[in-house]
Amino acid sequence: MNLELEKINGYSVLTVQDERIDAHNSGELKEYLLQMIEGGESRIIVRLGNVRFIDSSGLGALLSGNKGVIAKSGKLALTNIQKQVLSMFELTRLNRVFEIYADLDEAFNNEV
């Protein structure tokens, strides 16, 4: 999986470069997030703007990261989610679990 990690305004911003998150690569995303959290990252924003498809395992990987960061009293937010991908969060009601913002600026303004 192609992931890019940047530090912006004190946040760890992880951009998923792949168009697709499914059972073939979601394990990598989950591991990467958990390693970030183990490494002390506590304010994480995952940018999903490039992602045009996510399956249940991809949702599970993000959920795993969310649980991991909450356990360490941190926060994880998602931004730039495409319409069809967002519908998966709505269908599984995970839009009530994650903090979801239109873009990085909105996430920063809400002090994730």
Partner 1 sequence: MCPSFIQVDVVVPTQTKYLDLIGSIGERVAKELDSYTGDRAALAYQLNLVLTEATVNAIKHGCCDNDPQNCVKVTIQLQDDDLNIKVYDHGQGFDLEKVPLPDFEHPGESGMGLYLIRSVMDSVTYTKMKEHNVLEIIKHLK
Question: Where do contacts with partner 1 occur on this chain (CB under 8 A)?
Answer: 20, 22-24, 53, 55-57, 59-61, 63-64, 67, 84, 87-88, 91-94, 97
Tokens of 43: 């304010």
Q: Which of residues 77 and 104 has its CB atom nearest to partner 1 in the complex?
A: 77
Q: Minimum Å distance from CB 81 to partner 1?
A: 13
Residue among 75 and 106 whose Cβ is closer to partner 1: 75
Least gap, CB of 84 to partner 1 (angstroms): 4
Helix, strand and coil content of the chain, in percent to the nearest 5, comes to: 40, 25, 30
> In angstroms, rounded to a whole number, what is the distance separating the alpha carbons of residues 96 and 79?
14
Residue 58: CB minimum distance to partner 1, A: 10
CB 97 within 8 A of CB 64: no
44, 46, 40: which is closest to 1 by C-alpha? 46
Among residues 8 and 91, whose Cβ is nearest to partner 1?
Answer: 91
